[in-house]
Amino acid sequence: MATTSFPDASPHRNKTAAAAAPARRGPTGDGSPGPGAPAGACTAHVSPGVPVVTAAEPEFAGQFGLTADEICGYSILDLLRSPRPARLREQFTALSSGHLRRVTERVTGRNGSGREFTAEITAVAVREPAGEVVGVVVLLRRAEDALSAGPVLSALDAQVLEGVASGESTVQLASRLYLSRQGIEYRVGQMLRRFDAPNRPALVARAHALGMFATGQWPPRVLPERVR
């Protein structure tokens, strides 16, 4: 049996679940990740209840040094690690029970050489027409792929963007960051052009769409990997 290269824990493999793997199906029901899928994402399908992989794209399995056949039966909670393991487990339980439809989380994993990588996952509950949850689709995007999809900001521009996203005015930003109002307007104007946004609300929406902000944080915070 193939194993991943976790030095401190071997992913649990459930052979029964692997043998019973269903046909691959995305959130749209046709095998595709669906319109909400992040660019560059690869996909795996996880059983409800006990979250083991039942099917996966070769690109997903390859992240862990496995083939699409070998990864079936591994627990997704062993393959992917979170700074808050209990939260990640609770989220998959909530997806399986129908209490959540979609979650996004920053995670780490290890490739076939044992080297750690960071990634973002979006997990989506798959339902039958009657409403019963029959599985979970996991979309994984490596951090370096996410980084290539959007701008990297200076530390000061990141602070300005965070302030705009939290609703601060030009005067408030200028006072907090010890800049002139003209300096704030200049930096906002530069970001409007860079993000191809016509106004501040569109700038914030565009930044969210590009994954610039940390998930579930208020006030908004730009991800460290988006700041140079």
- For the stretch 172-216, pLDDT in tens is 999 999 999 999 999 999 999 988 889 999 999 888 878 888 877
Among 117, 132, 147, the domain-final residue is 147
Q: How confident is the model at residue 40 (pLDDT cuts 50, 70, 90)?
A: low
Give the residue, 181 or 112, on which the prediction is more confident.
181
Q: How confident is the model at residue 108 (pLDDT cuts 50, 70, 90)?
A: confident
Residue with tokens 């016509």: 198
Nearest to 46 by CA among 72, 64, 70, 66: 72
Q: Can the peptide bond before residue 219 be classed as cis, meaning omega within 30 degrees of 0? A: yes
162 assigned to some structural domain: yes
Among 66-70, 93-97, 137-141, 215-219, which is the least confidently predicted range? 215-219
Is residue 76 located within the same domain as residue 121? yes
Examine residue 102 and state whether it is found in any structural domain, yes or no.
yes
pLDDT value of residue 6? 37
For residue 120, give the CATH number of its domain.
3.30.450.20
Within a domain: residue 3?
no
- CB–CB of 54/71 below 8 Å? no
Same domain, 35 and 100: yes
- pLDDT tens for 121-151 read 889 999 988 889 999 999 998 866 555 556 7
Separation of CA 86 from chain center: 17
Q: Are residues 44 and 125 in the same domain?
A: yes
- 113 and 143: one domain? yes
- For residue 204, give the CATH number of its domain: 1.10.10.10
User: According to the model, what pLDDT value does residue 150 have?
Assistant: 63
Residue 206 included in any domain: yes
Please indicate, yes or no, whether residues 73 and 46 belong to a single structural domain of this protein.
yes
- What is the domain range of residue 118? 15-147
- Collapsing DSSP to helix, strand or coil, 103 comes out as strand
Choice between 113 and 78, residue whose per-residue pLDDT is larger: 78
Q: Are residues 57 and 158 in the same domain?
A: no
Q: Are residues 167 and 57 in the same domain?
A: no
Asked which of 97, 120, 147 is the last residue of a domain, the reply is: 147
Of 118, 147, 176, the domain-final residue: 147
Q: Are residues 59 and 102 in the same domain?
A: yes
What residue ranges in the chain does DSSP mark as E strands? 42-46, 53-56, 102-110, 116-127, 133-142
Residues 114, 198, single domain; the answer is no
Q: Which two tokens stand for residue 134?
A: 């029959």
**Residue of 153, 152, 173, 154 whose CA lies nearest to 219:** 173
Residues 6 or more apart from 151 whose CB is under 8 A from it? Answer: 194, 195, 210, 212, 226
pLDDT of residue 64: 93
With a CB cutoff of 8 Å and minimum separation 6, the contacts of 159 are 177
Q: Which pLDDT belongs to residue 118? A: 84
One domain, residues 22 and 51: yes
Q: How many domains does the structure of the chain reveal?
A: 2
Say yes or no: 106 and 34 in one domain.
yes
